[in-house]
A and B are shown apart, each in its own frame.
Chain A
């Protein structure tokens, strides 16, 4: 049977349709070797002065804040924190939720954007995953020491103990132990497996010596044969598919810590999606905060292009608006429920003694990302950086508002307290910021900060059928990429 369908080429042979080109992910037609040189150069060359300028203070802050702060805490007791009866979660759990949320953007970039075939993720996923690992390490400090006697922190794990008491599996706090530790472990596996081919690249560039031996051990003897790549790609896909529900579950479980309690202001079903959106929102802001300076310091502009920054700004706008919706919906539900305690909880948040925290949260998280509706703002790195810093601050205040303002006004007026952190509280938090920065600096110095193999994979010449396309009759009819000019 003869097909009656006629193609445009057959019916209009004189019209030459332009071949639409995709916007390039890697600029200036860089070669494989250039990519290897540039990314490995970050860790093979001497670090620039600014690296030391950032590393030494952050290491000192980490030493004093985390090392000294925890030593003082353990040797004296948790009384040196500002946690009081009623506001017993206080500052440490604010910081825990803040840090664990930061990590989520890393998993979103590495897993969810992988499953949705967003190839632009390849330039930023490695650094974002590193950020996840370091943020979860910072987060873990707070609940571990918040238990009071940290040498009993192993009571969190369901192992037999002398009291013959078992953990309560009906409690979200135990779910949290499993969720966060699983999240850290699986993120670490994902990060490490993703790095194996790149570690092999560094190994093959090293001169014989200790460095080559160490990179050789950590690259596991990777050879880059297709019989390895075939299984490796499957493993990567599986880890992405496992991490996607995992990242959604982790912050949902964190939100259950609040939502399953019968406390006005916490007992809402909107919490899990609201927390997950907020976590991704805050995490992307942190990715921008660390990647924009790193891009300049190491000259990675051809790898992390304005398109990447533009995409991340759009995600911040989207998730920021979702968070704004959640804030307003919380207020509406409190009003619509007619429950006086619920309404009072929100009145207290907005107009009580912590009004400034609520105002900071609203302006930083909901208003500041609205700038990203404008292309000019997404293209101006100073504006992007300023908004990212606002979001970092705003997301911390969000957790402060949720935890402190709620616990400060519970059911019994006799319990009402106002909370203020002590110097020790603040020292430890600043210490974790230093620790995060210090770990990230060490990451830049010793590990490949961009996924070398995956970036090479996104180049047009990496497609084995690239040559066939070059010989296609329509190839090359448009020299200026179509996205740069209107269709003729």
Chain B
């Protein structure tokens, strides 16, 4: 015999527009919640501060990615042109002073490595790709990529309580409050 047990993911509440979402986010932040998020079809200006999110640390990753690219290009050019296979073409020397001729490739690889760092750094920070998520079980969440604004507070937040969290969301203007559950496996 199989039984399907459900585990509560959290509450999902809809808000009518960007302004109410913004103000509600400030309330949820001030209520001390940590495991929650605002969902919107486009990035809302200033919502990071309203939610108390710090500035992204992605630029630091990219800085080191770019430095690695620049160093790789220099090592590649220097090793092949000066150490392994020095050739004198067009009367240009093959030593450390050849470095201006290496600049274009050093620049391009700086950009290339930085670009890849942006891609993979971003995916790491936002923890994607993933094939499924408990929120996708919600009957209304598909509208988050169309025209709806949501706040979801997760059950794993220490301040989460089935009654008080629901009251909070209703009190700050949330509609269609839904308890989102996922299959427990």
Contact = CB atoms under 8 A, between A and B. Distances in A.
B40 A224 contact: yes
A53 interface: no
B15 to A, nearest CB: 11
Interface in B125-149: 125-126, 128-133, 135, 142-147
Interface string A203-222: 11100000000001100111
Nearest to B79: A166
B108 interface: yes
A465 B49 CA distance: 14
A170 B102 CA distance: 7
A167 interface: yes
B64 interface: no
B168 interface: no
A464 B21 contact: yes
Contacts, number: 210
Contact of B42 (A164, A462, A467): A462
A224 B47 CA distance: 13
Given A169-B101, A201-B145, A462-B44, A234 B59 contact: yes
A175 B56 contact: no
B19 A185 contact: no
Contacts of A464: 18-19, 21-22, 44-47, 50
B81 A453 contact: no
A186 B115 contact: yes
B172 interface: no
Contacts of A242: 111, 114-115, 118
Nearest to B21: A464
Interface stretch (A60-68, A245-253, A301-309, A423-431): A245-253
Interface string A139-170: 00000000000000000001000001111111
Interface residues of A, number: 69
A468 B20 CA distance: 11
A226 B80 contact: no
B98 interface: yes
Contacts of A186: 111-112, 115
Interface stretch (A10-18, A28-36, A404-412): A28-36
Contacts of A467: 17, 19
A466 B18 contact: yes
A22 interface: no
Q: Which of B90, B112, B115 has the most CB of A within 10 A?
A: B115
Contacts of B39: 223-226
B118 A239 contact: yes
A220 B38 CA distance: 19
A468 B118 CA distance: 36
B70 interface: no
Interface in B19-56: 19, 21-22, 25, 37-48, 50-51, 53, 55-56
Given A169-B80, A186-B111, A226 B146 contact: no
A189 B65 CA distance: 15
Contacts of B105: 169, 174-175, 178
Closest 9 CB pairs of A and B: A32-B147, A464-B22, A220-B129, A234-B56, A225-B37, A166-B80, A204-B142, A175-B104, A229-B43
Given A182-B109, A228-B128, 11 more contacts: A169-B77, A169-B81, A178-B109, A189-B119, A204-B142, A217-B131, A226-B53, A227-B126, A452-B41, A461-B17, A464-B47
Interface of B: 17-19, 21-22, 25, 37-48, 50-51, 53, 55-56, 58-59, 62, 76-77, 80-81, 84-85, 87, 89-90, 92, 98, 101-102, 104-105, 107-109, 111-112, 114-116, 118-119, 121-123, 125-126, 128-133, 135, 142-147, 152
